[in-house]
Amino acid sequence: MIKIYGREEVPVNVTDNMAAIILAAGSSFRMKEFRPLMKLGNVTAIEHAVRCFYYAGINDIRIVLGYNALDVIETLRYYVVRFIFNRRFHEEMFSSVREGIATLEPEIRAFFVMPADNPLVSVKTVYTMLERFHAPDQPDIVYPSFNNRRGHPPLISARLKMDIYNSSSPGGLREVLRNFESGAVDVAVDDEAVLLDMNVPDDYHRLLKYLKYQDAAEYK
């Protein structure tokens, strides 16, 4: 059992043949700072994301880099992660999704896709999604849902990886995944963070308040 960032305790098992792709290539033009390296508590946003997957038992964590790539590498120098450079990082985020998918080996059964600006998702949420994926019906996509709203990160079966890679949509990954809605399921989670990103400064301050509330709740 392990507790992290004031979240509930959850079992931690090593999960073979699962991967997490964290998208950290964009230039964050709507923020004055580079979002993956903004501090939330004592660590950066991208460190929160990496730790979440690691403590949920995901050992295969891949970071898609672009803008400020060397700074991200330096920040994560003590973490066991794989770096992927997206030379087209100035384009839409879906280009980073494709770069990440292109590196997936045949033995990978499923993968998470997590934007680095959705950093406070709980370990328990990831673990709950993994459990749902391993159910007998084994869905193609598992979405976390809070108050009946889908959030990040989706967990996607590797059966879809080439269909996604070969897709082209101005709506990005979300629009592409709508083509596979018949195989998608929602998993209700008690984790508002699946809906919380940090696209603009107000979002960042909201995340800081959320983190402070979660930390305070741990000691009640």
CA distance 7 to 52: 10
Measured on CA atoms in the order 124, 81, 162, 94, is the torsion positive or negative?
positive
CA distance 74 to 78: 9
Q: Is residue 68 part of a domain?
A: yes
When the pLDDT of each residue in the chain is averaged and rounded to a whole number, the result is 89
- Helices 45-55, 123-133: inter-axial angle, 10-degree rounding: 50
pLDDT in tens, 35-78: 999 999 999 999 999 999 999 989 999 999 999 999 999 999 99
First CA to last CA distance, the chain: 20
CA distance 58 to 60: 6
Q: What is the CATH number of the domain that holds 129?
A: 3.90.550.10
- Residue 139: what pLDDT? 96
Strand 43-44, strand 39-40: pairing: antiparallel
- Residue 210: what pLDDT? 93
pLDDT greater than 50 at residue 117:
yes
Q: Identify the domain containing residue 39 by its residue range.
A: 18-218
Q: Is residue 146 part of a domain?
A: yes
